[in-house]
C-alpha cells in the first residue's frame, strides 16, 4: 500500500495585541474611549489620572449605569408622562404632594418642558383647598427629575440647563457656567466669546470651558421617551472654532491628565502590566495626534466652511491619506462614527468627504451655475463647455 502525503501550506496573518488595540482605538468615539480608560484604570496600577478627571469619569459611568436601570431597552415605547406616573409612588409623597406631582406631570410636554407658569398651579391647587408656593413646586419638580432625566419640568431652556448643572459639584467653572446660562445665553448662542469674557470679567479660556460644559447638556430631555420621538441631540467628539482667523481644536473628554505612573524601576513588580500601560498611552496619543491632523486638513481644504458653511470642492479619503502620509485604512478608521462641533452645528466627519457630501456639493455647484447663467450676456448665451470653464476658473475665448 502506497502512502500518500498531503502537504497544505496556509498563509495566515494575525495582528499583535498592541496593533489590534491601536486599530480599535482609532475607530472608538471619545465616549467609548473613556469607558476603555475606566476599565484600564481599574485593572492597571501603572496608569494615573488626576482626581478631578477620575471623578468625572466615575460620575459619567454612574449616570450611564443609572440610566440603564431606569430605562429598559424598550423605553422608547413609553411616553414621558407614563414613565413619570408609573414611578411616582417611589418618591414617598404624602397625599397633597402626590396630587400636585400628578397635576404637574399632566402639563409637561414631549420635550420635557412645563407648559404653564407656577402661578397656574398655585391657583389650581387653591381651588382644591391646598395652599402651595413656588418653592413647593420646585421641590416636586426636582424630585421628578430624579426618576427621569435632569431638566424635566423646566419652564425655559435656561432653567432646563440650570437643573442639569445643579447636579455638578459647584466649583468655580460651574458657577461661571450657571451665570452664563442664567443671564447671557443669547450672547453665548451667537458665540460672542470675547463679549462674554468682558461682561463676566474672566479669561476667555473660562468662557470656552463653560461653552464645552453647556454643549454636553441636553436641551430637550423629554425626547428620550415616546414611540414617535427619539433623542436627536448628538454629542461631538471634537470641537472646531475660529478666532481671529485662527483655527482652534479641542476634545470633549475627561482624560487629559492620563499618564504613566512615575515609579523607579525597582518598584515595577509586573513588567507586563507596565508595558501594557505604555502601549495603551502610546495608542491613545497616536489616535489623538492623527485625529487632530485630519480635522485640520479637512478645514484647511474646506476653508469657507467655518464662515459660510460652504463645501466648494471634493475631498476624498485618498487625498487626505496622501497629504498626511497615512494609510487610507487609518484615515477611514479615524473618520468612523465621530462627530465634530462647528459654528454651524454638529456634523459627522464623513460629511466633509466626497461620498458623504454629494448632495451638498451638488447644491453648491448648481447655485454657481445659476449665478453664471443669470449674469451671462443674454444675446450671447454661454455654451456648456464655457460654463464648465467658468466653474473651473479658467479663461475661454469667444
Choosing from 120, 153, 186, the residue where a domain stops is: 153
DSSP state at residue 242: E
Quick one: 149 and 168 in the same domain? Answer: no
- Over residues 366-381, the mean pLDDT reads 75
| HEC-encoded secondary structure of 326-363 | CCHHHHHHHHCCCEEEECCEEEEHHHHCHHHHHHHHHH
Which has more confidence, 245 or 60?
Answer: 245
DSSP, collapsed to helix, strand or coil, labels residue 320 as helix
Quick one: 38 and 87 in the same domain? Answer: no
- Report yes or no on 279 lying in a domain: yes
Strand-pair partners of 110: none
- Report yes or no on 74 lying in a domain: no
- Report yes or no on 320 lying in a domain: yes
CA distance 146 to 361: 46
Quick one: 118 and 29 in the same domain? Answer: no
> What pLDDT does 92 receive?
81
Quick one: 184 and 247 in the same domain? Answer: no
- Report yes or no on 358 lying in a domain: no
On whether the CB atoms of residues 48 and 258 are closer than 8 A, the answer is yes
- The continuous run of DSSP H or E covering 259 comes out as strand 259-260
Alpha carbon of 254 to those of 56, 196, 231, 240, 346: distances in Å? 6, 25, 23, 18, 20
Quick one: 301 and 320 in the same domain? Answer: yes
Residue 119 clears pLDDT 80, i.e. is over it: yes
- Report yes or no on 348 lying in a domain: yes
Q: Give which of 260, 287, 253, 258 is closest to 274, Cα–Cα.
A: 260
Quick one: 341 and 261 in the same domain? Answer: yes
Going 144 to 169 to 59 to 178, the CA torsion angle's sign is: positive
- Over residues 275-298, the mean pLDDT reads 93
- Over residues 79-98, the mean pLDDT reads 81
Quick one: 250 and 312 in the same domain? Answer: yes
pTM of the model: 0.48
Choosing from 176, 196, 225, the residue where a domain stops is: 225
Quick one: 83 and 184 in the same domain? Answer: no
- Report yes or no on 287 lying in a domain: yes
* Torsion angles phi and psi, residue 200, rounded to 5: -90, -10
> What pLDDT does 59 receive?
60
Could you give the number of structural domains in the chain?
A: 3
Choosing from 112, 132, 153, the residue where a domain stops is: 153
Range of the domain at 21: 17-67+241-352
Residue 363 clears pLDDT 70, i.e. is over it: no
- Report yes or no on 134 lying in a domain: yes
Quick one: 168 and 149 in the same domain? Answer: no
- Report yes or no on 10 lying in a domain: no
CA distance 331 to 369: 33
Quick one: 210 and 162 in the same domain? Answer: yes
Quick one: 132 and 49 in the same domain? Answer: no
Quick one: 177 and 273 in the same domain? Answer: no
Amino acid at each position: 500500500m502506497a502512502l500518500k502525503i498531503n502537504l497544505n501550506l496556509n498563509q495566515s496573518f494575525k495582528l499583535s495585541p498592541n496593533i489590534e488595540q491601536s486599530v480599535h482605538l482609532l475607530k472608538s468615539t471619545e465616549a467609548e474611549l473613556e469607558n476603555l480608560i475606566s476599565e484600564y484604570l481599574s485593572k492597571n496600577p501603572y496608569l494615573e489620572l488626576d482626581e478631578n478627571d477620575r471623578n468625572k469619569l466615575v460620575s459619567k459611568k454612574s449616570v450611564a449605569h443609572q440610566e440603564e436601570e431606569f430605562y429598559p431597552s424598550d423605553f422608547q415605547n413609553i411616553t414621558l408622562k407614563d414613565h413619570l406616573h408609573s414611578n411616582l409612588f417611589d418618591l414617598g409623597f404624602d397625599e397633597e404632594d402626590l396630587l400636585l406631582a400628578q397635576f404637574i406631570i399632566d402639563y409637561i410636554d414631549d420635550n420635557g418642558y412645563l407648559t404653564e407658569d407656577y402661578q397656574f398651579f398655585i391657583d389650581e391647587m387653591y381651588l382644591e383647598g391646598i395652599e402651595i408656593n413656588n418653592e413647593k413646586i420646585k421641590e416636586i419638580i426636582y424630585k421628578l427629575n430624579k426618576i427621569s432625566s435632569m431638566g424635566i419640568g423646566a419652564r425655559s431652556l435656561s432653567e432646563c440647563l440650570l437643573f442639569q448643572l445643579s447636579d455638578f459639584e459647584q466649583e468655580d467653572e460651574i458657577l461661571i457656567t450657571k451665570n452664563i446660562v442664567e443671564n447671557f445665553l443669547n450672547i453665548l448662542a451667537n458665540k460672542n466669546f470675547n463679549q462674554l469674557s468682558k461682561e463676566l470679567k474672566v479669561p476667555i479660556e473660562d468662557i470656552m470651558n463653560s461653552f464645552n460644559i453647556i454643549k454636553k447638556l441636553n436641551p430637550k430631555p423629554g425626547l428620550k421617551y415616546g414611540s414617535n420621538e427619539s433623542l436627536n441631540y448628538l454629542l461631538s467628539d471634537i470641537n472646531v472654532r475660529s478666532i481671529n482667523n485662527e483655527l482652534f481644536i479641542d476634545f470633549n473628554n475627561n482624560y487629559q491628565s492620563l499618564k504613566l505612573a512615575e515609579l523607579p524601576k525597582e518598584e515595577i513588580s509586573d513588567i507586563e502590566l507596565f508595558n501594557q500601560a505604555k502601549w495603551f498611552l502610546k495608542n491613545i496619543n497616536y489616535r489623538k495626534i492623527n485625529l487632530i491632523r485630519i480635522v485640520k486638513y479637512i478645514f484647511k481644504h474646506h476653508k469657507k466652511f467655518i464662515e459660510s458653511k460652504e463645501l466648494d470642492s471634493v475631498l476624498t479619503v485618498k487625498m487626505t491619506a496622501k497629504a498626511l502620509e497615512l494609510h487610507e485604512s487609518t484615515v477611514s478608521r479615524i473618520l468612523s462614527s465621530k462627530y465634530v462641533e462647528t459654528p454651524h452645528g454638529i456634523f459627522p466627519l464623513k460629511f466633509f468627504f466626497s461620498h458623504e457630501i454629494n448632495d451638498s456639493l451638488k447644491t453648491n455647484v448648481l447655485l454657481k451655475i445659476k449665478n453664471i447663467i443669470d449674469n451671462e450676456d443674454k444675446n450671447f448665451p454661454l455654451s456648456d463647455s464655457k460654463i464648465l470653464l467658468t466653474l473651473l476658473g479658467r479663461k475661454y475665448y469667444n
